[in-house]
Structure 1
């Protein structure tokens, strides 16, 4: 009989969340009024408790949360690109309560193009980037970012930045399901080596990607 009275794992998580929602919201808010060390400790404590509660639902999931520009707290549940866990994310978010001061998102959403992207030894002006977009052998996107700042010394660093940039502007779902390859290479060298490949400024990327590759989630 007790097994029929026990709440589902999703309801267990959201029950815990509603009980702690004000305490959770205090974490990012403290960063605005307290010193950095105390704010970091408060946020770390809350994020840790939120992570433990979420992973009782599914150990593959991770929470990200902050206060958005409109003053609403946002909770993103991410599977960090693990496509086999996406259905669990969607299932959990479909059970989310309606809370006036919270917004819940399944998977990392698309973000606006950042002005700059910095690594250890290079800072990219993102608006100056170009790209080439083709289909790989599996019909997924092969995306090349092209920069004038590429060199043999920063090649590996640029590949990390390319992955970070691609996920930010394309979102977790499309990045995991519809992107097969991402790299960042020298604009000049690529233009010489592949003169027939179309190169476009980065502001054209989203429209072209959506027309050719995008998948549409029912959740975000």
Structure 2
């Protein structure tokens, strides 16, 4: 199988924009593949940087430092917001059609659109992430307090919006045990109890679960 061009492009952008990390005691980036994800990891004595993306040009590139998303350092950064908009405008329609039909013609459309401006979009995004780190250079020494506090605020805001959407849509949540025997470690959401019950009937392997209403109050459990 040939290596997809977007993989090579992203790799080259990482090497170009993050070469400055060597001056802060970082290792060269080590490449790892986890299922359908490509990871590039580098570390020093204080932090681990992970840049990764999935095996399709339409999905975002992510970057974390010790598990915290780097873009949370500057939540109002206009270039980062422009990147998200560009991804949606370039790929969302084709990717949604692929998910609905499973027809490779839509994957071809994604590849064709990437050839138009995808490399530039990703390169600009990675460059901005590197500039964010340079503007917050002490994080490379393990000073993650700003990153942690911003992440907490963003997570709280996300949970509030998610709760509003769940109540608005009268969504039911099924929490169940998948890998753990001690806690609910997986969940699915449904717009009706009938759909939820049908799902349970089809998933005989789910033995321990609970059902929550749109306010996250438990209705029943097993």
Give me the TM-score of the superposition, normalised by structure 1: 0.24
Q: Which has the higher contact order (CA 8 A, sep 6+)?
A: 1
Higher helix proportion (structure 1 or 2)? 2
